[in-house]
Chain A
Amino acid sequence: MSAFMHWFANPARFVRIADAVTPWLWLTLAISLCAGLYLAFFGSPPDYQQGDSVRIMYIHVPSAILTTGIYGFMAAASAASLVWRYPLGSVAAKSAAPVGAAFCFITLATGALWGRPMWGTWWEWDGRMTSVLVQFFLYLGYLAIWQAFSDQRRAANAAGILALVGVINLVIIRFSVEWWNTLHQPASLLRRGGPSIDVSMQWPLATMFIAASAYAGAIILTNMKSELRMRRAQAQLQSMTQNAGGYRLETG
């Protein structure tokens, strides 16, 4: 594992691999998005209970899975950067954050738009919704930390610590919100039948999930390449000013 990481740590090699992979991700996105949209709107029946609004599920559920998945990815990348000094870790975490925040926002918005025709409410302080909202604030805090420091190394360190503490917090929040919710009222209204999704709905769901994942992967890789370019330019700038300083010192 660590040998693999060291092999992967070379930025030039990473850029080569990313350049090779990204077009395939875009292709996967194009195909699966077209197929997924067709299946979602024409290839699947309306739910016998929910009617047509079940079609919101095909974007809501993949977004919700990716919201959590990307946060996990960020935390793993931050741990790799903080603990093992893996140089691409903070680049990966920083590049993934906007994508995770976007999916988190979509999860909240589509959830509200699904809830209104289904249960007659835009928002319910139910355990799952509340923890997604808190996760959105965590994403915003993480993005704000990157913006707040002019020294990028310092920002990387602070953001990494925040991502890791955030994981612990997310676990506690899941637990506390569930506990708080059962304390006030049993949330039977919003309990959805998880495993009882019909096969005709599993296909569009899986296809849309593949599309969303391919999108996330392509955007994260593109962001990482931009970030690496920025860092290289800044490193060059630094060494140049250092050289200039040395030159001045010698002549003075």
Chain B
Amino acid sequence: MLEGLSHAPFITAAYVIFFSVLGGLAVVTFRRARETSKYLRQHDETVHGGHDVAQS
């Protein structure tokens, strides 16, 4: 342990990195989940719509 060096900034920085990286990843993951479910819903509609047109 090095004397005369405050540990607080290092501990703070470590926890800030920990939470911001994992938080960032969580945000990206949720956004992707929302986008994909929206995309799939639109897709289902167009696909079924397409079938209807073909049948008529």
* Direct contact, A vs B (beta carbon within 8 Å): yes
CA distance A49 to B1 in the complex (A): 7
> A97 vs B17: C-alpha distance in the bound complex, in angstroms?
19
Q: Does A233 sit within 8 A of B, measured CB to CB?
A: yes
SS class, residues of chain B in contact with chain A: helix
A69 to B25, CA, bound (A): 18
> Does A118 lie within 8 Å of B1, measured CB to CB?
yes
Are A230 and B36 in touch, CB under 8 angstroms?
yes
Q: Does A59 contact B (CB under 8 A)?
A: yes
Cα of A222 to Cα of B50 in the assembled complex, Å: 30
How many pairs of residues, A versus B, come closer than 8 Å at their CB atoms? 91
Number of interface residues of B (CB under 8 A): 31
Q: Chain B's nearest CB lies how many Å from the CB of A64? A: 12
Taking CB atoms and an 8 Å cut-off, the chain B residues in 4-47 that contact chain A are 5, 7-8, 10-11, 13-15, 17-18, 21-22, 25-26, 28-30, 32-33, 35-37, 39-40, 43-44, 47
Task: Tell me, in angstroms, the Cα distance from A237 to B11 when the chains sit together.
Answer: 50
The CA of A114 and the CA of B15, in the complex, are separated in Å by 11
Are B47 and A109 touching (Cβ within 8 A)? no
Whether A117 pairs with B1 at a CB distance below 8 angstroms is yes
A236 to B42, CA, bound (A): 12
Q: Which of A23-75 contact B (CB under 8 A)?
A: 49-53, 55-56, 59-60, 63
Mind listing 30 A-B residue pairs with CB under 8 Å?
Answer: A49-B1, A51-B1, A51-B7, A53-B1, A55-B11, A59-B15, A99-B25, A102-B21, A102-B22, A106-B17, A106-B21, A110-B17, A113-B11, A113-B13, A113-B14, A113-B17, A114-B10, A114-B14, A116-B10, A222-B30, A222-B33, A223-B29, A226-B33, A226-B35, A226-B36, A226-B37, A233-B39, A233-B43, A236-B44, A240-B50
- Lowest 3 CB-CB distances: which A-B pairs, in order? A229-B36, A53-B7, A226-B36
Beyond A49-B1, A225-B33, 19 additional contacts (C-beta under 8 Å) are A51-B1, A51-B7, A52-B8, A56-B11, A59-B18, A99-B25, A106-B17, A109-B17, A113-B11, A114-B10, A117-B1, A118-B2, A120-B2, A222-B33, A223-B32, A223-B33, A226-B36, A227-B36, A229-B40
Interface residues of A (CB under 8 A from B): 49-53, 55-56, 59-60, 63, 98-99, 102, 105-106, 109-110, 113-114, 116-118, 120, 215, 219, 222-223, 225-227, 229-230, 232-233, 236-237, 240, 243, 247
